């Protein structure tokens, strides 16, 4: 039996009041992922695990023909409501699992999967499927949260110190460096590189943002004058690009490998 919550929505994931560091992280993650597709009029793009559909819609607004594939009827229902209020070209929605995509080999110029790989019960099969449905010189773009980021390492070190030396409780009940209960995989740079390289020839690995979730960071950014906070998160963002292994989010771009195991 497949243990996936098909009724989930994003209310526990998407922060409501955005602080400058969250704003920077979510904007950059989205922009870099979408830009990497090369979406423009005439291109075909697949958004795997499209959720509430905001990325599919943004890609369609760039002129691409977009399909959002999503197993959760509830998420797709929210996506339909979300796009119904918006003008311009709309994506198509298809119900489908990432590891069994209902498309022929080479159907798309680009395929994205943003913020979802850690929810998949067979992520390697999902990457192989994304490689299969993307044409040989197209791109597959995978964006994942890095659970070995600087912020995760700092949070864990601080909690260890509090518990082992000061005999105090961890700072927060939900420790940001532990994968949430609805994640199957706790991603970091080596793992995504290893999983992706079985089906993709990796073109780039980019780090997005640095320090998000570090103890006290968000509160400090929210208290600073907006221009100072924006400058600080941008500077940290530049460091995240230099050290993707420490960044908050990793965006991997690869081209499909064609082999017996990636065709069917
Ligand atoms: C955190 S949301 C991300 C949605 C969207 N990509 C975004 O960036 O907002 C994760 C999504 O993965 C979907 N999902 C979970 N398991 C899946 C699977 N095996 N195949 C495809 N999608 C899956 C969930 O229904 C959910 O919509």
Ligand 1 center–CA 246 separation, angstroms: 24
Query: How many structural domains does the chain have?
Result: 1
Contacts of 190 (CB under 8 A, 6+ apart): none
**Better-predicted residue by pLDDT, 166 or 15:** 166
pLDDT interval class at 12 (50, 70, 90): very low
Ligand 1 center–CA 135 separation, angstroms: 23
**Domain span at 195:** 20-256
Residue nearest to atom 9 of ligand 1 (CA): 51
Question: By C-alpha distance, which of 112, 95, 98, 100 is closest to 43?
Answer: 112
Is residue 1 in a domain?
no
Ligand 1 center–CA 116 separation, angstroms: 5
pLDDT of residue 59: 98
**Is any ligand 1 atom within 6 A of the Cβ of residue 119?**
yes
Is residue 102 in a domain?
yes
Residue nearest to atom 23 of ligand 1 (CA): 49
User: What's the pLDDT tens digit per position in 208-224?
Assistant: 999 998 888 989 999 99
Contacts of 176 (CB under 8 A, 6+ apart): 151, 152, 155, 213
Is residue 9 in a domain?
no
pLDDT of residue 215: 83
pLDDT of residue 48: 98
pLDDT of residue 251: 98
Is residue 104 in a domain?
yes
Ligand 1 center–CA 50 separation, angstroms: 6
What 8-state DSSP symbol labels residue 137?
E
Is residue 12 in a domain?
no
C-alpha to C-alpha distance for 15 and 86, rounded to whole angstroms: 22
**Better-predicted residue by pLDDT, 83 or 197:** 197
Check which CATH number belongs to the domain holding 89 and give it.
3.40.50.150
pLDDT of residue 193: 98
pLDDT of residue 2: 58
Is residue 208 in a domain?
yes
């Amino acid at each position: 039996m497949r243990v996936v919550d098909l009724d989930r929505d994003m209310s526990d994931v998407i922060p409501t009041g955005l602080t400058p560091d969250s704003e920077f992280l979510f904007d950059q993650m989205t922009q870099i992922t979408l830009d990497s597709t090369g979406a423009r009029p005439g291109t075909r793009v697949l958004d795997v695990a499209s959720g509430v559909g905001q990325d599919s819609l943004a890609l369609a607004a760039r002129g691409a023909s977009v399909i959002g594939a999503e197993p959760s009827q509830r998420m797709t229902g929210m996506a339909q409501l979300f796009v119904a209020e918006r003008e311009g070209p709309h994506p198509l929605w298809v119900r489908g699992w990432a590891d069994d995509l209902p498309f022929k080999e080479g159907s798309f110029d680009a395929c994205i999967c943003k913020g979802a790989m850690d929810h998949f019960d067979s992520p390697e099969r999902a990457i192989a499927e994304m490689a299969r449905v993307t044409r040989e010189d197209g791109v597959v773009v995978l964006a994942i949260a890095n659970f070995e980021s600087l912020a995760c390492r700092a949070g864990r070190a601080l909690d260890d110190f509090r518990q082992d030396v000061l005999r105090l409780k961890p700072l927060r009940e939900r420790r940001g460096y532990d994968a949430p209960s609805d994640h199957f995989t706790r991603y970091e740079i080596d793992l995504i590189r290893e999983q992706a390289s079985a089906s993709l020839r990796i073109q780039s690995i980019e780090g997005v943002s640095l320090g998000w979730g570090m103890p006290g960071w968000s509160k400090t950014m929210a208290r600073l004058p907006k221009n100072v906070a924006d400058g600080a998160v941008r500077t940290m963002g530049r460091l995240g690009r230099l050290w993707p292994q420490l960044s908050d989010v990793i965006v991997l771009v690869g081209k499909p490998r064609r082999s017996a195991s990636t065709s069917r």
